[in-house]
Structure 1
Amino acid sequence: MNIIIDFNDETNELSEEEINTIEKILQLAAKMEKVEDDSELSVTFVTNERIQEINKEYRHKDMPTDVISFAMEELGEGEIPLTGMDMPRVLGDIIISIAKARAQAEEYGHTFIRELGFLAVHGFLHLLGYDHEIEEDEKIMFSRQKDILDEFGLTR
């Protein structure tokens, strides 16, 4: 079972090994979540300045954040789903701030790759419809994140 992931490192800060690790984590998450083969998503790594621009434009919050997800399967008002034969499932986009990931790794006392993995899985689960707006949903989502990261071996 494999999904198709388009990576874009706008910061040019990540090593090939780090990107490969994130790909393996997301492939595992897709397998554990039983996501259809050939489903597609993109992961973009950006600066704090860039994620702040995105956060301001789309969430009306003028501050940097660690990860933002844009789920393609969430329909806006008046939108209709695209369906047809042989169309791949397009999950959406995950945008991660490298600077925030580095700062949070230090703050939480774990490795940078563990924080990147956490943020990637967090964003991925949002693409699949998980949320954490209410306590009950938060418990479900954070438990699932922990299960995936533990299975991969990225524990705190």
Structure 2
Amino acid sequence: MIDFDNRTETEFSISRLETIATAISDAEIELILTTNDQIAEINRDFRGIDKATDVLSFPSDPFPGAPLGSIVISIDKVESVAHELGHSADDEMALLFIHGLLHLLGYDHEIDNGEMRNKESELIERFSLPKSLIVRTLEE
């Protein structure tokens, strides 16, 4: 189940994200949809990086019945990257959601040996999405 907190004026349906979340985990997930300004502030306050980013993940401390954690996504980044790459905002949101969810599940592309990229690729194929965040970044 997704606890959706839309802090923007953009209307967004999470039904596709609910399908993805249910296929990956049965834990509750908080999803915060925000703007570049707001995500830059969160990034600065929690990571010491003073700039906007597309997605942030904050795992919860595990205890029985605890939510998996929070995923924060910038709608501004979703819209600009979707436009730049020629796919829908729904597809971009799903890609970022999968990326954030894998981080909540303990995957870390910065230190693993490709496990997160492989899992992300598997999910992208399963849900018929365009290239993943990790794959796009590796191609740059």
TM-score normalized with structure 1 length: 0.77
Using CA pairs below 8 Å that are at least 6 residues apart, which structure has the higher relative contact order?
A: 1
Structure index of larger Rg: 1
Structure 2 match to 1:33: none
* 2:66 counterpart of 1:71: no
Q: Percent identity?
A: 39
Structure 1 match to 2:104: 127
100-109 or 46-55, which moves further after superposition?
A: 100-109
Q: Distance in 2 between matches of 1:14 and 1:131?
A: 30
* 2:19 counterpart of 1:19: no
Structure 1 segment 102-113 matched on structure 2, within 5 A: 102-113=79-90
- How many corresponding residue pairs? 131
Residue 134 of structure 1 deviates from its aligned partner by: 3.0
Task: Identify if the C-alpha distance between structure 1 residues 40 and 135 changes in structure 2 by more than 3 Å, giving closer, same or farther.
Answer: closer
Q: Distance in 2 between matches of 1:141 and 1:13?
A: 30
Secondary structure of the structure 2 residue equivalent to 1:90: coil
Structure 1 segment 86-101 matched on structure 2, within 5 A: 87-101=64-78
Residue 90 of structure 1 deviates from its aligned partner by: 2.0
RMSD: 1.7
Of 16, 24, 33, the match for 1:29:
24
> What stretches of structure 1 move > 6 A for 4+ residues in a row?
none
Residue 107 of structure 1 deviates from its aligned partner by: 2.3
Structure 2 match to 1:152: 127
The amino acid of 2:101's aligned partner reads F
Secondary structure of the structure 2 residue equivalent to 1:154: coil
TM-score normalized with structure 2 length: 0.85
